[in-house]
Structure 1
């Protein structure tokens, strides 16, 4: 579970662009590319869905 939260933190930091190069290289050594890609894809889908539902809510009022 600790590895999952480390990968999640890495992906979130990369989304916001605040991850250092050293941390990025360490993350790719510690986590597999496929696990990082799956987490990134899930977070991206959730982000797009949140924007879609927010815009739908605002336009309906």
Structure 2
């Protein structure tokens, strides 16, 4: 049916570009998670240092 059709890319090219896309998106996801959790971690560290003298 599609005997004369040839694609300009291979399966390896598709897998490689898929992994590159996942790598690009995951960096932004990690950056978003860092913005969500950084204030909580900073508050935890500040609280630990402020309670150190009271204990």
Bigger CA radius of gyration: 2
Higher relative contact order (CA 8 A, sep 6+): 1
Query: Which structure's residues are more often helix, by fraction?
Result: 1
| TM-score normalised by L of structure 2 | 0.48
TM-score with structure 1 setting the length: 0.45
